Structure formats: structure tokens, C-alpha cells
Structure 1
């Protein structure tokens, strides 16, 4: 029976997507470097997109590929390897998660994501790509590290619209089970927050105080962030779960 192959199925997003697909009645195969325990219609296999080891075997028999795996380096090359394997077996639909601003932001990580997008779009496969904003989970990690400093540096003009991973998972499942749609509207959180605001809300939730030091981010990256090139456009769809709601869920567990 044909199945859906999910890369990155053990990550933040993958752990949400995989059970949703399985609960909808679709066999799922999860590709990861460490593997896992297969159960309940979800099969785990070992493979490494960075080297290509095990990738062809993992794709064999897949009807749909949902590509969630990624990292700060080598994302374009890893995606190219996966795409070649998918082309070889005639995958019907290749679905890819990307990031808002990949075609505008100068940091190398965005360039890698853009290269991955191009590998998918130029593959000849029917495809769908969703660009999403930073997950609440990532923002929580960043502001948590900043809040541990005795004085918190706050680059001026940096704004984010964090989105809940559950909203992204639900959107991706709908796209995966639907027809190929190309580049679909961005998915961002319901609100835009300045970085300083995010840090202050984190500190307040933990009953902490830290002095803030306004700084200016230099160079092309600073100009791009201040211009809002990392933010979604007016055609974007919006998640429903706010940063404040997410923070309220997480703070009791962290105390």
C-alpha cells in the first residue's frame, strides 16, 4: 500500500504532523537519522539526507513526500538528494515546508532554504511549498537564552510574527492530503511582536526583571529586518494561537 514519507518526522513539527496523518487513515513512513519504534500505522526508517544514505530505500513505494527536515547548513543539497530519489520512483506529490522571507533576507540560512525551494520547484514533480514564520518554540528558546543575560541586548526594529507549530501542522496536513498547489500563501502568527516585547513578556511570565540595552543590528541583515522583509505579506493566512497563549501553556511546566 502506498504511504506518505515524512522527513523530519521526529522534530517539533513532525511529531505533530505524523499522528494527524495516521489518524486520518494514511500509512506513514518517517525518515530520520536515528530511527524509532514503528507502531500504529507509522513506520520508522533510518536515513541521512546529508549523505544520501538510506534515502532511496526510504522513498521506494511512497505516493507523497512531506519534507520537513532542515537545518542551518546544507539544506539545499539535502533537498536535492531527496528530490532525485522522489523523481526516480514517480512520487505523486512533493510537499515542502520553507520560511517566510527566503527570497528577501540576506543571511545564509535563508539562501539555503531558497535553494531547497528551487530544487523542489524545478524537479518536474507536482509540488506544494508552504512558507511559515518562526515557530513559538524557536522564539521561546531564543528569548529564554537572552533573558539569562544580566543585561538583555535588544536590536531595534526587529519584529517577528511567531506561529504555533500546531497551526502549521494542521495546515500542512491539509496541503499534503490535497492536490499539488505550488507556492501557497504564507502562514504566520496572528500578531506581530517586537523582539523587546517578546523578551519582556517572557520575563514577566517568570516574575523576572532584566535591564535592556537597545542596540542596532548592522549590515544588510539589520536593514532587512528593520524593513520587515522577514514578515508575511497581506495575502498571508494567519494562525489562531497567540504567543501569549503559548507562553501561558509553557510557563507552568518550566517552573
Structure 2
């Protein structure tokens, strides 16, 4: 039996990874600021050394809009001291090509992992279904219109499938940068918005809006997509039906 620690283990992805690893017979330590036993704030590193002692593998799912780089440095330092053999990190397709601040932060964490001297594995995936829905919910706040970025598509993926892949990677040997993992369909935002409105019974006029800047250009060029790695099975429509019921 292997001892595996999951950072962000109470979150959407981390909790699923933890469940799968436990079901496969591993001892799992769930680390987050709100975990009952291993309540650690990676940004300060307080309590981290004790949490990683005796751990064979770490799956690093914890992430935030700020502080990820410092947290990764703290984690790597603790794992190096503990002699942990394998660090698995979940990243995002396009972090090296889309000039978003959060993406730059994720790419820097990748570099820290790659240069850590530890055995490591990095998996990049496209956006989860629930993140796309959260974005559309925000855009649909106005009563009549739903503005969407013109010429931009997305490739949403089922989070449970990503959890399955991470659990399998955690059980294996360090593999470096593994092939990207994308959802089964590349869908334009008008189509995503229309499916969301149909699932929730809302009425809005979908309005494609042209934007400016390097981020918008990179998104229009599909730098955040991986159509050649459309290995996911769960579709956006299936996710909407499961979450909201039959289309209204």
C-alpha cells in the first residue's frame, strides 16, 4: 500500500482523486487549509513537513488565483527534505501560449516541478465543464443579453475523467510531461451558451463580442485547445443534463 498525499484534497478535483486512490487501496492524506487532519496553508508552509513525512507520492491539485508559485516552492522544499519520490501536478492546456496572469503562474509552477530534482509528472487538461458553466452564469446576469467572445471556442472536459487519469498517474512511475487531455468536442461559445440557456430555461439573445488584446487573440487562435487529444468522453450536453435536468 502506498501513502499518497493530495493537496487541495477537499476541492472539486482533489476530492475525486482522493476517493479513487482510497478505492484502490492506498493510504490517502488530504491536505488543504480546511482538512480535518492535515490543515496546511501551502502559502506559508506551516505544518507541511509533518504532513509529507512518510509520503511516497503527492498529487498537487491545490490552486488559487494568487500564491501558487510560493506554495509550489514550499511544497517542493518539504518533499525534497522528506525524500518523496513522485510529484504529480495538474496544469492547463495553453499555459505557455495564452498570456493570462493565472496561466503564467501555472507555467511557472510547472517549471518549479520540472527543475525540482524530484521524480515528476505533469498533466495538462482543458477546462472543466463546471468552469465553463460558471463563466456563462456570470455572462448571463443581464436580463436580455448573453455576450460571448466572438470567434472563441472551448473544449470542456469531465472532471471525473481527469481524476481517473491523475489517480492512474499517481500509481505509476514519474513520467515527465504526459500527453495533454482534452474534452471530446471543440464548441464555439455561441453553441455553449445556447446549450446552457436551453438547459436552464433562460431566455437571452446571444451576442458575440469582439475583444482586443493578446489574450483574446490567443483564444481565437485556439491556443488553449488540444483537438488532436480529444480523449474525453463526457460531453457538455451530458453534463448539463446531469446538472440541470432535461433541456427546457
If the length of structure 1 is used for normalisation, what is the TM-score? Answer: 0.93
Give me the whole-angstrom Cα distance separating, in 1, the residues matched to 2:76 and 2:218: 31
Counterpart position of 2:68:
75
Give CA-to-partner distance per residue, 1:210-234, whole Å, 9 cap, x none: 0122211211011101111111152
Any conservation in 2 of the 1:130–1:186 contact (CA below 8 Å)? yes
Shift of 1:203: 0.5
Q: Name stretches of at least 5 consecutive residues in structure 2 with no aligned partner.
A: none
Deviation above 6 Å: which 4+ runs of structure 1?
none
For 1:21 and 1:102, the matched residues in 2 are separated by: 27
Which residue of structure 2 lines up, in the alignment, with residue 181 of structure 1? 175
The one of 108, 111, 120 aligned to 1:115: 108
Q: CA deviation at 1:238?
A: 1.2
Aligned partner of 2:133 among 127, 137, 140: 140
Q: TM-score with structure 2 length normalisation?
A: 0.95
- The question of whether the paired residues in 2 share the 8 Å contact of 1:5 and 1:31 is answered with yes
Q: What is residue 53 of structure 2 aligned with on the other side?
A: 60
| 1:25 paired to 2:25 | yes
Asked if residue 34 in structure 1 is aligned to residue 43 in structure 2, the reply is no
Q: CA deviation at 1:137?
A: 1.2
Q: Tell me the distance in 1 between the aligned counterparts of 2:139 and 2:96.
A: 28
Find the counterpart in structure 2 of residue 192 from structure 1. 186
Tell me the alpha carbon deviations over residues 12-64 of structure 1, each in whole angstroms, 9 at most, x when there is no partner.
0011111110010100001110123xxxxxxx311001111111111111110
CA deviation string 1:77-102 (max 9, x = no partner):
21111011111111111100000001
1:100–1:231 contact (8 Å) kept in structure 2: yes
Is the 2:68–2:109 Cα contact (8 Å) retained in structure 1? Answer: yes
Q: Residue 56 of structure 2: SS of its match in structure 1?
A: strand
Residue 89 (structure 2) aligned to one of 85, 96, 101 = 96
Superposition CA RMSD, Å: 1.5
Does the CA contact (< 8 Å) of 1:72 and 1:109 recur in 2? Answer: yes
CA contact (8 A) 1:2 1:61 kept: no
Task: Tell me if the contact between 1:136 and 1:246 (Cα under 8 Å) persists in the aligned partners.
Answer: yes
Structure 1 residues without counterparts, runs of 5 or longer: 37-43
What is residue 41 of structure 1 aligned with on the other side? none
**Number of aligned residues:** 246
Residue 135 of structure 1: how far off its partner (Å): 0.5
* 2:243 is equivalent to residue 247 of structure 1: no
CA distance 1:173–1:2, shift in 2 (3 Å): closer
